[in-house]
Amino acid sequence: MDARNNLQEFVISRTFDAPRELVWKMFTDVKHMKEWWGPKGVTIAKSEMDLRPGGIFHYAMRTADGQTMWGKMAYREITPPPASSS
């Protein structure tokens, strides 16, 4: 059986108390993602971002005891927020 036939959508949803433009920047700039991504107590040892449909965010999280866990997210769709009217 081909495992791809059993894929289910995985959605993460969260509300942030911050301006939309700032949240967008935190999720789309690899330098910012490296500073906050992952659970408390881990550091991001390596991160690469190819921000385009079909691109990926590939990262390594290092725990306090020195273990490394790798993760990868694939971008299917990228839609910037509408420009704010000031």
Domains of the chain by residue range: 14-73
Output the average pLDDT for the chain: 88
Give this prediction's pTM. Answer: 0.73
pLDDT of residue 11: 80
Range with the poorest average pLDDT among 34-38, 41-45, 60-64? 34-38
Helix (H, G, I), strand (E, B) or coil at 16: coil
Name the one residue in this structure whose structure tokens are 């408390």. Answer: 40
- Residue 10 half-sphere exposure, CB side, CA atoms within 13 Å? 5
**CATH assignment, 14-73:** 3.30.530.20
For residues 58 and 73, give the distance between their C-alpha atoms in angstroms, rounded to a whole number.
7
